[in-house]
């Protein structure tokens, strides 16, 4: 019986030693995690002012972009009629239902061609036009220069130039 108690005591002592080692390893890991958290907190506190500064800069840049868009709209309003007059004198349009194809990269041979506006396709954001030879095309508004009505020129705003880069 004494032998059994001795072997059970030894087993419990060994188990106790293993538990002490596991506990020491856990404490080491906890210490490492505390250092990491402390370091992260320091990094966060260091970066927070930078983040606020970036937010402020971003807001200022958005405001500046808005001013540029407004200036672009004003500039476009001022020069549109001179540019259009020169272009329309080179290729006079029969009516306001006609336009000149411009800046078309996919089919540059069509640039300068007078086309008739047939219908606006809202879902595709394209004009259906017909060439003088009867060919039907779908073209973006930006690729069609047409003589705008007077009220259209007056109503241009900076949002009309959001796609301009």
Looking at the predicted structure, is the pLDDT value of residue 5 above 70? no
16 pLDDT tier (thresholds 50, 70, 90): confident
pTM greater than 0.85: no
Query: Highest-confidence range of 31-40, 54-63, 70-79, 150-159, by mean pLDDT?
Result: 54-63
Mean pLDDT of 28-45: 75
Burial of 76 (0-12, 13-18, 19+ CB in 10 A): middle
Q: Please tell me the predicted confidence (pLDDT) of residue 83.
A: 61
Mean pLDDT of 66-77: 74
Looking at the predicted structure, is the pLDDT value of residue 67 above 90? no
- Work out the number of other CB atoms within 10 angstroms of the CB of residue 116: 15
The torsion angles phi and psi of 120, rounded to 5 degrees, stand at -95, 125
- Work out the number of other CB atoms within 10 angstroms of the CB of residue 127: 20
Q: What is the pLDDT of residues 104-120, one digit of tens each?
A: 889 999 988 889 999 88
SS3 assignment for 61-110: HHHHHHHHHHHHHHHHHHHHHHHHHHHHHHCCCCCCCEEEECCCCCCHHH
| C-alpha distance across the termini of the chain, in Å | 93
Per the CB < 8 A criterion, the answer to whether 141 and 152 are in contact is: no
For residue 65, what are the β-bridge partners? none
Burial of 160 (0-12, 13-18, 19+ CB in 10 A): middle
Mean pLDDT of 26-42: 75
Per the CB < 8 A criterion, the answer to whether 139 and 114 are in contact is: no
Looking at the predicted structure, is the pLDDT value of residue 124 above 90? yes
Looking at the predicted structure, is the pLDDT value of residue 81 above 90? no
Q: Is 137 helix (H, G, I), strand (E, B) or coil?
A: strand
More confident residue, 160 or 63: 63
165 pLDDT tier (thresholds 50, 70, 90): very low
Q: Please tell me the predicted confidence (pLDDT) of residue 80.
A: 56
């Amino acid at each position: 019986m004494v032998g059994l108690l001795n072997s059970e005591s030894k087993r419990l002592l060994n188990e106790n030693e293993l538990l002490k080692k596991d506990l020491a390893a856990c404490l080491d890991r906890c210490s490492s995690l505390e250092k990491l958290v402390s370091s992260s907190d320091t990094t966060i506190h260091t970066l927070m002012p930078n983040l606020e500064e970036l937010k402020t800069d971003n807001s200022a840049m958005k405001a500046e972009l808005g001013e540029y868009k407004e200036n672009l709209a004003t500039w476009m309003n001022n020069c549109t009629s001179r540019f259009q007059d020169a272009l329309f004198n080179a290729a006079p349009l029969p009516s306001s239902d006609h336009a000149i194809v411009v800046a078309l990269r996919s089919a540059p041979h069509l640039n300068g061609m007078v086309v008739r506006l047939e219908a606006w396709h809202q879902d595709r954001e394209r004009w259906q036009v017909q060439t003088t030879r009867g060919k039907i095309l779908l073209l973006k508004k930006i690729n069609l220069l047409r003589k705008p009505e007077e009220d259209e020129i007056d109503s241009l705003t900076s949002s009309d130039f959001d796609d301009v880069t």
